[in-house]
Structures are given as C-alpha cells and as structure tokens.
Amino acid sequence: MAHRTAAVDRPPAMADVARLAGVSAQTVSRVLSGHPNVQEKTRTKVLAAVEQLGYRRNSAARALSSGRSRTIGVVTLQTTFYSRAAVTSGIENAAREAGYTVSTATTASLDTSAIEDALSRLADQDVEGVILSVPLTHTSPRIEQLTRSVPTITIDGSRTAATEVVAVDQTLAARLATRHLLDLGHDTVWHIAGPEEWLEAAARRDGWRATLQEAGRAVPPPLEGDWSPASGYRNGLILGRIPDATAVFVASDEMAFGVIRALHELGRRVPDDISVVGVDDIELAEYCSPSLTTVAQPFTQMGALAVAHLLRHIEDPDARAEPALVEPRLKVRASTTRGRARREGDAAGAQAARGTARATTPHPQGPPQA
C-alpha cells in the first residue's frame, strides 16, 4: 500500500516524515538541525521523505530544538518612500541568503514611545538581532535596555550606547551636490531640506552650509520639506519666484520632482534658469524630464552591509566595530548646467575671439594696378 503524503485536512508533520523514512521523529529532528552524528544513508532517506511530502518545519518548533529563531527584526517607518522600501528589500535579500527570515515592525511616528513599542514587539518574537531603520534623534532608558538585550544595528547614523552604525556619509552627499553646482559657476546654492528631526536631513543641511561657507559664498535661508513630492512642489513655487536663484540642492529625488514641476509651471527652465540636484538616485531619476542630476545612495548595499554587521554582532556580542560609512556618488545628468554669469562670460569671450580673428585675418590683395 502506498504511503499517504499527508492527511487531507492538515499539512505533513514530522511524524509523517519519520514514518515514510522508517526512522524515529528524533532522527528526523537531528537531520533537519544539521546534527553531525547521523549516517549519510539515513540523512538521505530523511531528506527524500521531506521532499516527497513537501514537509516544512514549523519555525517555533525549530527555535525550541535549536535555541535559535534565525529571525532578524527590522524597525522601519510606515511610509511609501522609495528609499525605505529599497533598504528593506536589501535587508530581506541578504538575510534570506544567510538563512534568516525577517520580521518587520513599522512605526507611524518617530516618537520614542512608538520606537519602544516596535522594539518590544520584535523582542517578544525572540528575534536574534534588530536593524533599526529609523532616525533616532532621542533615546530613552527603555530603548537603551532593549538595544542592550538584543544585538542592534542602526543604518541612518543614530546610535544608542549598545548599537553599531552602518550609514551613508550624508555630509559628503551634500558636499558633492553643492560643490558640483559651485564648480558650474553658480554664485550660490539654495537648499530644500528634509524634516529637522531626521538625522539624514540635518547632515545634508550641515554639509551644504559648510561647503558654501568654505567657498566664501552667501548662505541662503534653507527651505524645509517633508520628503514628499508635494512639499518639493510647494517650495519650488517659492524658489521659482526668487529672481537671483540659479541653483538648488534638494534633499531627496522625490522632492526634486515636485520642484521641477513647480519651476516649469512658473516658466523657469531647468537647467537653463535653475539647475537642480537631488539625493538618492531612485529609478525614476533617470527618466524624468530633464533627467535628474543626483547623489546616488547604494540602498541595496546598505541593507546587505547592515545584515553582515548584525550577524557578526550576533555571533560575537562582545565585539565592537567602528561605524561603517558608505560613500555616495554624484551622477551628473541633464538637470544641471553652467551658471548664467559663466555662460554669458563664455559667450562674450567667444564673440571677442571671433572679432579678434576677423581683425587679424589678412585681406586678399587685389590685382596690381596698371
């Protein structure tokens, strides 16, 4: 009589695998846990039965037998922004390759009480480590206690006494954008910043201001957005009415899209009248009109690096690592061009050169007079 693959009203259990393989349930457990003291012939029979039955081991049972959940927790903000989704995707891919699952706890705000709640939910699931993917501008005794009890990595520059940091150098990102616009001959660079409570936004604002000050340029008052295209649009309507504004560094690509839309509606051409640089290099940046010059952030790499640091921390909780800063890259596209004064100077120089050439060109002699 053929073995039944499973009862019709339940998934296959470990006892079904043991029965089909002709071994005990304990032997099945040892095979699935990777125990070394199992004969290869027995291991092969058990794995064949697992494949035939389509058995999937319950994660709770696996945790009980091994003492490890092989689960990573991620605290992230409840948002539709591309950057957060891209980082989370990088975390999930890297965790999967390492044999871990990911449990995500979202928070609707950046209040310490909301972050405490998210960390507590993950701790209750017995996660082996946590990646904190939200800006932590303020900590609390509860957050400190939770991050001491569970290995924790942050990926935006925030830090508690017990966490390790993996982050993009946001100050450098701002310097690259601002320096690019100054090198094109713009007198100064305006800035549309992200929310004040975000560490990334603060670092970009600081990098922009420092670059202007070091170049001896005027520092315009920053305009503040909230990362959304709508906030970029609102600030673009303000910026577009400032006659002397010829260059702007926008703290995210999504806000930059809104800025470009507002400038277009006001009749200010990008880049001829105002050059625009964003940050992130999301997929749409290359395909907007004009294509967006931006500072690229390696979101997938960030997620993978955070997982690698966390797994090392899990294996050796006493080991301490220096913060890992990833360098961003400037990607020049069609939304930036030379400043108006430099273009006019180049045009005047070219005209003068043409006039000089005409003045120094010898005129052909006419025929000799008889």
Question: How does pLDDT run across 257-298, given as a tens digit for each residue?
Answer: 999 999 999 999 999 999 999 999 999 999 999 999 999 999
- Please, what is the average pLDDT of the chain? 85
CB 208 within 8 A of CB 265: no
Which token pair is 351? 């005209």
| Identity at 31, one-letter amino acid code | V
Give 246: exposed, middle or buried? Use CB within 10 Å, 0-12, 13-18, 19+. Answer: buried
Q: Is the pLDDT of residue 367 over 70?
A: no
- What does the pLDDT read at residue 251? 98
Which token pair is 322? 């220096």
Question: How does pLDDT run across 154-208, given as a tens digit for each residue?
Answer: 987 677 766 778 889 999 999 999 999 999 999 999 999 999 888 899 999 999 9
Instruction: Give residues with Cβ within 8 angstroms of 269, minimum separation 6.
Output: 263
- What does the pLDDT read at residue 65? 53
Instruction: Give residues with Cβ within 8 angstroms of 71, minimum separation 6.
Output: 59, 100, 101, 102, 103, 125, 126, 127, 128
Q: What is the C-alpha to C-alpha distance for residues 134 and 75, in angstroms, rounded to an integer? A: 7
CB 285 within 8 A of CB 299: no
Of the ranges 60-69, 267-276, 299-308, 337-346, which one carries the lowest mean pLDDT score?
Answer: 60-69
Other C-beta atoms closer than 10 Å to the C-beta of 307 total 27
First to last CA, the chain: 128
Return the residue matching tokens 């640089």: 277
Region of 81 on the Ramachandran plot (φ > 0 left; ψ -120 to 50 alpha; else beta): beta
- What does the pLDDT read at residue 284? 93
pTM attached to this predicted model:
0.75
Q: Is the pLDDT of residue 303 over 70?
A: yes
CA-nearest of 178, 159, 345, 347 to 277 is 178
Instruction: Give residues with Cβ within 8 angstroms of 126, minimum separation 6.
Output: 63, 69, 71
CB 168 within 8 A of CB 298: yes
Question: How does pLDDT run across 73-101, given as a tens digit for each residue?
Answer: 999 988 888 888 889 999 999 999 999 99
- What does the pLDDT read at residue 4? 43
- Residue count of the chain, please give it: 370
Question: How does pLDDT run across 99-150, given as a tens digit for each residue?
Answer: 999 999 999 888 889 999 999 999 888 899 999 988 877 788 888 888 888 8
- What does the pLDDT read at residue 5? 43
Instruction: Give residues with Cβ within 8 angstroms of 107, minimum separation 6.
Output: 75, 76, 77, 78, 114, 115, 117, 118, 134
Q: What is the C-alpha to C-alpha distance for residues 70 and 285, in angstroms, rounded to an integer? A: 37
Q: What is the C-alpha to C-alpha distance for residues 246 and 296, in angstroms, rounded to an integer? A: 22
Question: How does pLDDT run across 48-79, given as a tens digit for each residue?
Answer: 888 888 776 555 455 545 557 789 999 998 88
CB 332 within 8 A of CB 293: yes
Assign 370 a pLDDT band (cuts: 50, 70, 90): very low
Which token pair is 244? 């002397």
Half-sphere exposure of residue 53: CA atoms within 13 angstroms, side-chain side = 28
Return the residue matching tokens 């689960």: 71
